[in-house]
């Protein structure tokens, strides 16, 4: 299923059913590990639910502050909170608790968000080896190999990462103000490129095997956003076409891009969804004006 979350509803595009109305979907986490299988949604920044076929099953209220992002881990969910704080939800007992270790990482007093008064936990990813990667806007990307006990900075704040996404076999990708980044060693080391992009400011990314996708624009207030594909990690990017507009008059933002099994989906702030079944060779508009798309995820 392809889950679509907007500022007003949650929908399964494959089955063409609305799962929840009058909710703002902030994040969707797809769990595949022990005790966390399924699709989980963050609603209105203050509650978490599981998608149960045609409806939502409430899981927990978020009472530690406004929640912004989410990722599935074995037996639970990582929850990113305003002020760049991190919490973990235990799906067995429903308890949500902050990770004090993340509050103590060095340099966090210097984190600054140009769009708000405090830094955000904008995106998070968990690799198939169980490594946690947490992207702070703007405070770098932090990596933990021991379930949050200790942290290492792997991308510096100046790179201004907007989204970090885990693929398979140790591949991790990132969309940042400095361009597209990728790692082949579980997020430990990174390479960067802007080759083939019309401009290097990137907001959203996805990876499907060795095929990478990224959105790029001329900056935060752009009137020129585009979707690109690299046939292999490290190859130059080429514009995706075949039905897509050559350019969008806005940024294609964090969470609005998803890819899996040769399928690609892109959502836009003006309420449209574009979908490809051939790795981005051709696209078709599958919805019109559904509301501001915040997140798309294959489940």
Average pLDDT of 126-132? 96
Q: Which two tokens stand for residue 265?
A: 């989906």
Residue 255 pLDDT exceeds 90: yes
Are 270 and 285 a contacting pair, CB within 8 Å?
no
Q: Give the model's pLDDT for residue 200.
A: 98
Q: Give the model's pLDDT for residue 68.
A: 97
Predicted confidence (pLDDT) per residue in 179-198, tens digit? 999 999 999 999 999 999 99
How does DSSP classify residue 239? E
Residue 37 pLDDT exceeds 90: no
Average of per-residue pLDDT values in the chain: 96
Predicted confidence (pLDDT) per residue in 159-176, tens digit? 999 999 999 999 999 999
Q: Give the model's pLDDT for residue 77.
A: 97
Average pLDDT of 27-35? 84
Predicted confidence (pLDDT) per residue in 46-76, tens digit? 999 999 989 999 999 999 999 999 999 999 9
User: Could you tell me the residue ranges of all domains in the chain?
Assistant: 160-299
Residue 214 pLDDT exceeds 80: yes
Residue 34 pLDDT exceeds 70: no
- Domain spanning 160-299: which CATH class is it, in words? mainly beta
């Amino acid at each position: 299923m392809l889950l679509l979350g907007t500022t007003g509803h949650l929908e399964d595009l494959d089955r063409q059913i609305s799962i929840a109305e009058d909710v703002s979907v902030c994040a969707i986490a797809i769990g595949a590990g022990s005790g966390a299988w399924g699709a989980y949604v963050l609603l209105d920044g203050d509650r978490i639910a599981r998608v149960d076929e045609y409806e939502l099953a409430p899981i927990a209220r978020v009472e530690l502050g406004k929640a912004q992002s989410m990722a599935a881990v074995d037996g639970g969910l990582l929850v990113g909170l305003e002020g760049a704080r991190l919490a973990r939800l235990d799906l067995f007992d429903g308890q949500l608790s902050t990770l004090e270790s993340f509050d103590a990482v060095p340099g966090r007093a210097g984190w600054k968000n140009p769009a708000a008064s405090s830094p955000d936990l904008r995106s998070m990813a968990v690799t198939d080896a169980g490594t946690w990667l947490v992207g702070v806007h703007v405070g770098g990307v932090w990596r933990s190999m021991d379930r949050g006990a200790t942290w290492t900075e792997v991308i510096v704040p100046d790179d201004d990462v907007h989204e970090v996404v885990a693929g398979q076999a140790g591949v991790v990708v990132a969309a940042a103000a400095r361009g597209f980044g990728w790692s082949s060693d579980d997020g430990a080391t990174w390479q960067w490129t802007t080759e083939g992009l019309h401009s290097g400011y990137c907001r959203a990314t996805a990876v499907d095997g060795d095929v990478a996708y990224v959105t790029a624009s001329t900056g935060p207030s752009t009137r020129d956003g585009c979707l690109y594909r690299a046939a292999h990690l490290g190859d130059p990017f080429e514009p995706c076409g075949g039905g897509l507009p050559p350019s969008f008059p806005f940024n294609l933002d964090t969470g609005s891009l998803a890819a899996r099994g040769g399928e690609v989906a892109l959502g836009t702030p003006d309420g449209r969804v574009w979908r490809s079944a051939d790795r981005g060779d051709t696209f078709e508009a599958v919805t019109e004006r559904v509301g501001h798309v915040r997140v798309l995820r294959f489940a």
